Structure 1
């Protein structure tokens, strides 16, 4: 483990260099070393570690377990195996043969991603869609027919829909299928040396077990790496009815100022200065006319003045709408 210099040691070292007691060129020449190869695509900072990406696949498993069970009319279990990073060319070498691959786009993110499905899972899906009742694993070592690819594509459309829903709390990406492929050599979602991150899941369709692998290039999710670090804010999406009830109760108890405008009058500054106790100011409205009622300075009602239980009162006759018009209200 490398020793980290303290602040005092750093200042002492800098002072020694400035005073000429240490010559950096000579000190560096004393250390003997050899050139070390540095692979930009295999560094720790670029080894494919994507924080919180597994949460997306956890959500996908919850959604797709129900969707796939309803589609196939069979009990389906999906278990996460684990994530791993590869160079894209190295990943293609790990794929079994035959393999069913779906290439899809994550708009508006750049690039494309893919889903690889081994033959055991693909043939189990085809068997279930066509009403098969076999409870033993299907071991067919051949390429898929056009009809079989079409049936698997139908199921993969559900997979992409569930994957899109699992991405939604983190990033609103639109997933769309580009094409289906059986030959890994014809798949080039990124150059061979580029890094991709994979997630492998095991799919149990009754007694049949298959593997599904999700492959996303690092360059595709690099723009949202910071959002992935922050994690999904599911709590911000949740609605707390108790909190809403308490907030409504507190708002209803908030005090508000209500004022009644009796009328208006225009006088000069001299008349204002000459006003004395007992003088009368003539308003532009009679006491029997409708008066304007304001709430926090905003016109809200019109009413008729009167007396109730020996107190001055106001009976609301109209409600002023937001557009300035009034509508009658019986009180």
Structure 2
């Protein structure tokens, strides 16, 4: 009787589990038919963990000096693009955020052009992305288009050779200005490697890797577009400590107060000066046989200068003498600290 009851309970449990799984599958299928991608319960948990990790990444990576560098870059680049287009160009930062590399490329979407460039000193790659609206705006301005907002959206075609040339020219200007902006912080030379139109061919790191994305809005009268600078976190790893600093002073600047303080404190330091007559190499057996009254022959001639040493380094030379009841030495040469530095 008890055995039959346990079998019945197990059957009801399996039936309830099956009913729950069927209901979940039916709900998932209905959502998929409606165009909604509904993950399973484990995917819900994984998605929550991913969101939490993304939030941690956004709050943990703080690079104050990089923000200052980008502000300097925007000012420099605005002037350069005005000179290049002979038009009123305004460059401003829309946002600077941290996100996964694959999500960033998916957000930019197509049609777009991706200029892959290399940072020589960091030995790694970054990306400069232009959306289609920005590319068409530059082409119209450079080739004398009317100063009206573009009413035609060109989709489903590849970019022409003229548009490719314009993007390469703008990329060279942006990379030059970016190098000037980084120069006060750290040396960085940016070199264009290639230009891609397919995001798959612009994969310089893994899609799940973290990247810092600077979104720029470029406005030219009634036209506007977006430029995106993508710096993978692995690329800026060599200079992460420098970019993490809140402030970097001018190179070569000195505080006279601290200089005088160090000079005074160093002048109070105590050192030991030794006067050496001469020395000679000797075997251990000969040293063991030394006795009272035995003569040691030196290589130095009578009347030669004695060496004055500081930390076993010869800094000067002099003649022995007498001062009162004590031995003394008179310097025959000035103190040469250059040899001591070596």
Same topology, TM > 0.5: yes
Contact 1:303 / 1:318 at 8 angstroms: preserved in 2? no
- Specify the SS of the correspondent of 2:61: coil
Q: Give structure 1 stretches of 5+ with no counterpart.
A: 1-31, 273-280, 325-331
Say whether the 8 Å CA contact 1:103–1:112 is kept in structure 2.
yes
TM-score, normalised to structure 1's length? 0.56
1:315 is the counterpart of 2:331: yes
- Determine if the alignment matches structure 1 residue 78 to structure 2 residue 75: no
Change (3 A) 1:187 1:306: closer
Residues 187-237 of structure 1: CA distance to partner in whole angstroms, max 9, x if unpaired?
5556778876633122345775432123456xx639949957992475498
Alignment correspondent of 1:295:
310
Q: CA deviation at 1:313?
A: 5.2
SS in structure 2 at match of 1:213: strand
Q: Deviations over 1:113-152 (max 9, x none)?
A: 5322234543555567x59798766667457542342233
1:101 to 2:114 alignment: yes
Query: Which residue number in structure 2 is paired with residue 52 of structure 1?
Result: 62
| C-alpha separation in 2, matches of 1:303 and 1:131 | 82
Q: Equivalent residue of 2:45, what SS?
A: coil
Candidates 71, 79, 85, aligned match of 1:69: 79
Q: Which runs of 5+ in 2 are unaligned?
A: 1-16, 22-40, 281-286
3-state DSSP class of the match of 2:135? helix
The answer to which structure has the higher helix fraction is 2
1:257 aligns with 2:267: no
Q: Structure 1: how far apart are the matches of 2:312 and 2:123?
A: 53
Q: 1:245 to 1:209 in 2, by over 3 A?
A: farther
**SS of residue in 1 equivalent to 2:170:** helix
Q: Choose the corresponding residue for 2:106, options 85, 92, 99.
A: 92
1:286 Cα deviation from its structure 2 partner = 7.5
- CA contact 1:120–1:209 (8 Å) conserved in 2: yes
Provide the residue aligned with 1:38 in structure 2.
45
Mapped partners of 2:121, 2:331: distance in 1: 59
Q: Secondary structure of 1:43's partner?
A: helix
TM-superposed deviation, 1:52: 1.9
Q: Indicate the SS of the match to 2:93.
A: strand
Match of 1:5 in 2: none
1:212 aligns with 2:227: yes
Aligned equivalents of 2:299, 2:242: Cα separation in 1: 67
> What's 2:292 paired with?
270
